[in-house]
């Protein structure tokens, strides 16, 4: 069984029926809040895309997509999406979305290679959003401004839920701390990447780590990123650090660990794409549909990311396992252990 954290004296604040009602409240309220904050319009998204177009996302570059043949298309192979970063950027172009506006969708995915635990499931549901931005806004300052708006929407949703259910008390800090992955390494040079996340989140409560995917001074990356959606290689003139992307994390006292709520960033332009494909040895991707369109200049500059729906519901409802806020497949021994600890998996 994958590693399972069982909190000491865990008490579920809501019944199963109350939880289902609260999940809908969170999803409705947060969707409205972030859509207003970032001027996003909801669109319908695919569950799968055709293989070979370069439209699916590799995430860290290692995950295997779930594939299946399509009988009525001469057995052409389809892939269940991992996320929609590249699909969204093409959709911005197809819909001719104006500068300063964007799209948001309910993204559902299957990630068969996940190691199942309190936070990770085979089933992924997230708000996937993408916003058109001017080329001149490709800066860390612009990235931070968007992150603060997203965090503000999270705080408002927490307040709404705590007003609705008085037994749930707020715990998120009013402000979010920004730090580059290299600064984090210098601050905690003897700790692993995950240990560094725990240390900084425990200190500040909410943190955005910049530069996920860029190589650090120790020759390693804080975490992996596929080379063709986030820009993790552009150097900031003010700091000298690489990366226009990052992860939003919070300290979660129930599990006593850091939890990532969102991965996001300013997307690659032509220069960053070609640089990152070369650095990663993936230059053959230039021939794929998405990459050709980006290189030829037919896709808008954008910023975007994903925010886990079940995970946000989990932390705002003070649950100990993501299976308490979504229905999925879990190892039987995990289900038994969770039930004994009062963690009712849906």
Buried b (16+ CB within 10 A) or exposed e, 259-298: bbbbbbbbbbbeebbbbbbeebebeebbebebbebbeeee
Does residue 226 lie within any of the structural domains?
yes
Does residue 227 lie within any of the structural domains?
yes
58 is catalytic: no
Please tell me which residue in 260, 274, 280, 328 is annotated as part of the active site.
260
Please tell me which residue in 33, 83, 214, 263 is annotated as part of the active site.
263
Q: Residue 302 in contact with residue 130, Cβ under 8 Å?
A: yes
Does residue 345 lie within any of the structural domains?
no
The whole model's pTM is what?
A: 0.93
Please tell me which residue in 247, 262, 302, 324 is annotated as part of the active site.
247
Does residue 9 lie within any of the structural domains?
no
Please tell me which residue in 89, 111, 138, 225 is annotated as part of the active site.
111
Q: Name the 3-class secondary structure at 214.
A: coil
257 is catalytic: no
Residues 6+ apart with CB under 8 A from 104: 31, 34, 35, 38, 40, 41, 42, 43, 127, 128, 129, 130
Please tell me which residue in 33, 126, 233, 301 is annotated as part of the active site.
126
Does residue 2 lie within any of the structural domains?
no
Does residue 162 lie within any of the structural domains?
yes
CATH code assigned at 70:
3.30.930.10
72 is catalytic: no
Number of structural domains (the chain) is 1
126 is catalytic: yes
Domain range spanning residue 327?
Answer: 16-340
Digit-by-digit pLDDT tens for the chain (346 residues) are 568 999 988 999 999 999 999 999 999 999 999 999 999 999 999 998 888 777 776 655 566 788 899 999 999 999 888 878 889 999 999 999 999 999 999 999 888 888 899 999 999 999 999 999 999 999 999 999 999 999 999 999 999 999 999 999 999 999 999 999 999 999 999 999 999 999 999 999 999 999 999 999 999 999 999 899 999 999 998 889 999 999 999 999 999 999 999 999 999 999 999 999 999 999 999 999 999 999 999 999 999 999 999 999 999 999 999 999 999 999 999 999 999 999 989 8
198 is catalytic: no
- What is the gyration radius of the CA atoms in the chain, in angstroms? 20
Please tell me which residue in 57, 58, 79, 231 is annotated as part of the active site.
57
247 is catalytic: yes
Does residue 7 lie within any of the structural domains?
no
């Amino acid at each position: 069984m994958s590693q399972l954290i069982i909190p000491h004296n865990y008490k579920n604040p809501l019944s199963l029926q109350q939880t289902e009602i609260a999940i809908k409240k969170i999803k409705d309220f947060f969707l409205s809040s972030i859509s207003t904050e970032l001027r996003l319009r909801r669109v319908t998204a695919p569950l799968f895309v055709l293989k070979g177009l370069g439209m699916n996302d590799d995430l860290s570059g290692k995950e295997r997509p779930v594939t299946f043949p399509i009988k009525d298309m001469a057995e052409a192979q389809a892939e269940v999406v991992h996320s929609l970063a590249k699909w969204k950027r093409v959709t911005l172009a197809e819909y001719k979305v104006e500068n300063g506006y964007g799209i948001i969708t309910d993204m559902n995915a299957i990630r068969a290679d996940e190691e199942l635990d309190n936070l990770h499931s085979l089933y992924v549901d997230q708000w996937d959003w993408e916003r058109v931005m001017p080329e001149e806004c490709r800066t860390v300052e612009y990235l931070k401004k968007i992150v603060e708006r997203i965090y503000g929407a999270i705080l408002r949703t927490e307040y709404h839920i705590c007003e609705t259910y008085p037994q749930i008390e707020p715990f998120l800090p009013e402000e979010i701390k920004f730090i580059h992955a290299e600064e984090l390494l210098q601050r905690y040079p003897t700790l692993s990447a995950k240990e560094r996340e725990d240390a900084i989140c425990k200190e500040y409560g909410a943190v955005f780590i910049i530069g996920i995917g860029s190589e650090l001074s120790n020759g390693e990356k804080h975490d992996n990123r596929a080379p063709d959606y986030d820009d993790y290689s552009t150097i900031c003139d003010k700091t000298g650090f690489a990366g226009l992307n990052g992860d939003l994390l919070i300290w979660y006292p129930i599990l006593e660990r850091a939890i990532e709520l969102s991965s996001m960033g300013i997307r690659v332009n032509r220069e960053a794409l070609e640089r990152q494909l070369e650095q990663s040895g993936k230059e053959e991707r230039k021939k794929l549909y998405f990459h050709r369109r980006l290189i030829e200049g037919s896709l808008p500059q954008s910023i975007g990311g994903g925010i886990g729906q079940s995970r946000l519901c989990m932390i705002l409802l003070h649950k100990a396992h993501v299976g308490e806020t979504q229905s999925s497949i879990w190892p039987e021994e995990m289900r038994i252990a969770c039930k004994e600890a009062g963690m009712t998996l849906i």
